[in-house]
Chain A
């Protein structure tokens, strides 16, 4: 069965600084990997996904993520954060034929002005 770990519950960065949110997964075969963002009081919005091919994936809002099979990781990055990036971020893993996603516990991002 798949599992996902987001080691950081809460991260604070300054506006304009770079960001990296960590995600580690457990799955025996090639997974499908997702990052979602949730603004306060809102639903989850898909930022990006990986399912095959290029291991560096570009998403919306200037985010990117890199799939590293050797480290079982799919970390989310942004070179320069904006105050509007303050939100909760969820990593999720799926598998071929599973028809289910497993979500991490989420990382809450706070932006200092």
Chain B
């Protein structure tokens, strides 16, 4: 299994509070991704990173920001959480461009509940 951990694994917070989720990898891969998973929507890309300090938006980036100060860590921040951000969040990594197929490997997920 790819060395990916996510923390916390579960979090309950209140509307309007800031939340930061952490993804940590031990594979030294350049690309990292944040997805959210909701019933009926599959996985949707929030943001991704293609290197330290290099990030870009995905299809559902509103209300989220990311940072990557080290190769191994990719942080997802909800500046002011809303109930619509209740979801399961997955981090993924890929060895692109060494692996040109961009095969992605996923972490265990973080279940976030915003009350």
**Which residue in chain A gives the minimum CB-CB distance to B91?**
A43
CB-based contact A94/B102 at 8 Å:
yes
- Tell whether B104 is near chain A: CB-to-CB under 8 Å: yes
Question: Which residues on the A side are within 8 Å of B48 (C-beta)?
Answer: 99-100
Q: Give the contacting residue for A32; candidates B31, B50, B101; CB below 8 A.
A: B101
B108 within 8 A of A: yes
Size bracket, chain A contacts: 20 to 34
B34 contacts A by Cβ under 8 Å: no
Cβ-neighbour of B102 out of A43, A98, A103, A104 (below 8 A): A98
**Contact, CB under 8 Å: B43 / A43:** no
CA distance A99 to B100 in the complex (A): 9
Residues of A contacting B31 in the complex (Cβ-Cβ under 8 angstroms): 99
Question: B74 on the interface (CB 8 Å rule)?
Answer: no
Picked from B94, B101, B108, the residue with its CB within 8 Å of the CB of A51 is B101
| Most chain B CB within a 10 A radius of its CB, from A32, A51, A90, A100 | A100
Q: Which A residues are in CB contact (< 8 Å) with B41?
A: 105
CA distance A105 to B37 in the complex (A): 10
Q: Mark B43-69, 1 if CB is under 8 A from A, else 0.
A: 111001010000000100000000000
Interface centre among B41, B58, B103, B105 (most CB of A within 10 A): B103
> Which residue in chain A gives the minimum CB-CB distance to B35?
A103
Closest to A31 in B: B101
Contact A44 B42 (CB under 8 A): no
CB within 8 Å for A32 and B102 given contacts A43-B90, A90-B42, A99-B50: yes
